[in-house]
Chains A and B, each alone.
Chain A
């Protein structure tokens, strides 16, 4: 009896050593969609997807959300006249870029399209030394940008009282190959950025 309980106890203790494989959660409410195949109608539960958009990048090329399908990408909202947290965010994104050989696509959307023309974005990208990499700086119609920001739960708005005239929260949003949102990370916090790098590595192996 003693021997049996000893074996059982050690099994229980050993089971504590097992750690389930790490996964990155999918964010957003599931949507039920009516679908039909082979004449049969059925309902399917799909994950929420990143919003669709078409904006112009710093090279004058059009970049749409559909172009990013099949890629892991990071989205952030910034503006070139930003006197506060943006540089810190870009520094951290440079670090993310350096952490990957074939890094995730980065999409930095300007929330100040009135001042951030294609040329202004090109000069900003050149100063950062990333004008010809998989990093797009986007500008476009203001209302569409703010709609996309809202869809990403990003705080972006004009505010004459804050430095630079705009408020934004400096989050990085990670979108997977299927266009699903997989994480929000504070772009000004190095610990959060390290977590993001680790999560993207997990997503690359999915």
Chain B
């Protein structure tokens, strides 16, 4: 066995291991949207992991014109729930939605997540904060 081959054996595996380690570190540290956690814990059980809805019972959210057109009414809708029927992508849905208890900061995170991930073309080009959420809620209650 040549000496060159032995050297290769000593260098290549550790280098590969190091590269793998760096790759895993990079993958694990990828950015998780704070609103995603809120979506999964509060919304996904009915609206689905990808906002696809439940059959003809619960409307989809992902990239619907309803999400885009009534984006400003969402804070009030999420906080107060919905008893009326709602028309989404050509279908009527009449399953009631119960009020979701979220602080205005959590609500802002959730809306940022939906703006970033559920709309192919973003609705707002700024980062939503709790003040914006409160403004929309007070506008709706007037």
For A188, give the chain B residue with the smallest CB separation.
Answer: B45
Q: A88 with B56: in contact, given A81-B96, A83-B96 (CB under 8 Å)? A: no
Q: Which residues of B contact A (CB under 8 A)?
A: 45-46, 48, 54-58, 81, 95-98
Which residues of A (133-181) have their CB < 8 Å from a CB of B?
Answer: 163-164
Chain B interface main SS type: loop
Q: Is the CB of A91 within 8 A of B46?
A: yes
Q: Does A90 contact B (CB under 8 A)?
A: yes
Chain B residue contacts of A87, Cβ below 8 A: 45-46, 54, 57-58, 95
Chain A residue contacts of B54, Cβ below 8 A: 87, 90-91, 94, 128
Q: Does A119 contact B (CB under 8 A)?
A: no
Q: Least Cβ distance of B34 to chain A in Å?
A: 22
Q: Does A129 contact B (CB under 8 A)?
A: yes
Q: Least Cβ distance of B18 to chain A in Å?
A: 36
Option from B45, B48, B56, B96 in Cβ contact (under 8 Å) with A127:
B56
CA A188 to CA B54, docked complex, whole Å: 15
Q: Does A124 contact B (CB under 8 A)?
A: yes
Q: Does A132 contact B (CB under 8 A)?
A: no
What mask results when residues 75 to 105 of chain A are scored 1 for a CB within 8 Å of chain B, else 0? 0000001011101101100100000000000
A-side interface size class? 10 to 19
Q: A124 with B57: in contact, given A83-B81, A88-B45, A91-B45 (CB under 8 Å)? A: yes
Chain A residue contacts of B57, Cβ below 8 A: 87, 90, 124, 127-128
CA A10 to CA B46, docked complex, whole Å: 53
Q: Least Cβ distance of A112 to chain B in Å?
A: 13
CA A127 to CA B58, docked complex, whole Å: 9
Residue among A83, A88, A188 with max Cβ neighbours from chain B (10 Å):
A83
Chain A interface main SS type: helix
Q: Does A126 contact B (CB under 8 A)?
A: yes
24 intermolecular pairs with C-beta atoms under 8 Å apart: A81-B96, A83-B81, A83-B96, A84-B98, A87-B54, A87-B57, A87-B58, A87-B95, A90-B54, A90-B57, A91-B46, A91-B48, A94-B54, A94-B55, A126-B56, A127-B56, A128-B54, A128-B55, A128-B56, A128-B57, A129-B55, A129-B56, A164-B96, A164-B98
Q: Least Cβ distance of B7 to chain A in Å?
A: 41
Chain B residue contacts of A129, Cβ below 8 A: 55-56
CA A203 to CA B86, docked complex, whole Å: 42
Chain B residue contacts of A126, Cβ below 8 A: 56
Q: Least Cβ distance of B117 to chain A in Å?
A: 20
Chain B residue contacts of A163, Cβ below 8 A: 98
CA A91 to CA B52, docked complex, whole Å: 12
Q: Is the CB of B46 within 8 A of A88?
A: yes
Q: Least Cβ distance of B83 to chain A in Å?
A: 9
CA A91 to CA B96, docked complex, whole Å: 16
Chain B residue contacts of A164, Cβ below 8 A: 96, 98
Q: Least Cβ distance of A133 to chain B in Å?
A: 12
CA A164 to CA B97, docked complex, whole Å: 10
CA A129 to CA B13, docked complex, whole Å: 55
Q: Least Cβ distance of B119 to chain A in Å?
A: 23
CA A85 to CA B45, docked complex, whole Å: 8
CA A188 to CA B46, docked complex, whole Å: 11
CA A5 to CA B142, docked complex, whole Å: 86
